[in-house]
Structure formats: structure tokens, C-alpha cells
Amino acid sequence: MNFTDFEYVLKEKFPDINDRKIEKFKQMEPLYKDWNAKINVISRKDIDMLYLHHVAHSLAIAEFFRINFPGMYDAMSAEAPEGDGKPAACILDVGTGGGFPGIPLAIMFPSAHFTLCDSIGKKITVAAEIAGSLGLSNVHTVNARAESIPGKFDYIVSRAVTSLDRFMPWVKGKYTRGIAYLKGGDVVEEIASMTGKFRINPGSVRTWRIDSWMNDPYFEGKLVIFIEA
């Protein structure tokens, strides 16, 4: 998927998107190709599918919010206020790697503040440099494991860094509204194990099929798992 195709998808899926956001998405490809040649954060064979496999996949979380939390979606989508206004939400991206899903979401949600963390220094360096080049003042990067990040966040986002059983202890006590987790495959047993082990109400866990929104074979079996606080 090249940018022309992706721009069409953006305007179709997010009719409220403005030109400023579209321009930032356009800038992503040359930035990632340049940095990926120096520090491999996306597989060489996958870099040409940046917009489909990485950006669109990340934006599935934005679509989940648009459908399920329209008020929060609108608040985060609005242009950031001048000065030091309070963000619509504070979001922690755990194991961001080169900046996914955090950077695409930060473009889409300029009124939210994102903390992107990763324990691998070279990866977080790429995320920090790209966020800076894109002028994303709502992004803060940290070279650290999630467990060591202080404070609380409204939401936590992550893209399949590990099983839910292993993930939950990393973020215990760090979120007040929920977790949006990108995962693939059969997750029924994984969710059942997580809810039992950590005494989470199964009714607070939702799964949403990404291929119901983005009709492409790549998204078959891929989900947004939302765990409400």
C-alpha cells in the first residue's frame, strides 16, 4: 500500500481528518525508510508495507475508540489547545519499538499526551527522532521497561509484545480507564487465563475484529482487545 492508497483509506475511514494530520502521515514513510536503513526497527521486507502493516494496524485502536467511546475520540482528535492545557487523555504505549501504535495515534489524537516506552535503546531512539521530525509535541519517549514508569495513565496501548498473562503485571496499577491491546490469533483461552489469574471481570473485556473495519487479508484474525478498568 503506497501513500496515495493510504490517503484514500484515511479519508474514507476517518472523514473528519484534516490536512495537517494527512501531511504528517505522508512524512512517515521517508522518515522510517531513512532510519530503518540505519537501525532496523521494521523488517527489511516489511518496510514497503509500512502504511498497511504498521500505520493502519495502529489506527485500528483509533477506530475502536470512534465506535465505542465517541466522546473521548472527539476530545482527543481535536487540535491541541495553545499553552499548557490539560490533555484530553494521557496514554502509555508499552513496548513501542519504533513507535507503534503510539506515533500514528499521536498524529490522530493531538489533544492526547503519549508516553512511548521501550527497554531497547536503539528502538526508542528511532521513535524519538521520528516523533521530533514530525513535530509531535504530544509525544514523550522513555528508554525503560513499563514497570519502572511512574504515575498513572488514562489508557495503555500496546501491540502484541507478549501474552496477556505476562503483560498485565507490567502495567498493574498504571491505568484508570482501560487497555487497548493489538493481538492476533485465537485469544479465547488467553483471555480466560488472564481474567482468572488477575481476578478481572470477564464482562470488562471486549474483542473487536479489525477485519470488520479494514477489508484486507493481512487483518484476518487480528483484534483489538480492550480491558476496561
Instruction: Count CA within 13 A, CB hemisphere, residue 217.
Output: 0
Known binding residues: 95, 100, 146-147, 159
DSSP code of residue 119: S
CB-count exposure of residue 138 (10 Å: 0-12, 13-18, 19+)? buried
CA distance 129 to 165: 32
CA 108 vs. chain centroid, Å, equals 10
CB-count exposure of residue 121 (10 Å: 0-12, 13-18, 19+)? exposed
Q: How far apart are the first and last CA of the chain?
A: 36
Cell output for 116: 512511548
Residue pair 224/181 in contact by the 8 Å Cβ criterion = yes
Pairing mode, strands 89-94 and 153-159: parallel
Cell output for 156: 495503555
CA distance 48 to 36: 11
Model confidence, pTM: 0.96
Known binding residues for S-adenosyl-L-methionine: 95, 100, 146-147, 159
Pairing mode, strands 139-143 and 205-209: unpaired
Per-residue pLDDT of the chain (229 residues; tens, 9 = 90+): 999 999 999 999 999 999 999 999 999 999 999 999 999 999 988 999 999 999 999 999 999 999 999 999 999 999 987 666 799 999 999 999 999 999 999 999 999 999 999 999 999 999 999 999 999 999 999 999 999 999 999 999 999 889 999 999 999 999 999 999 999 989 999 999 999 999 999 999 999 999 999 999 999 999 999 999 9
* CATH of the domain spanning 3-228: 3.40.50.150
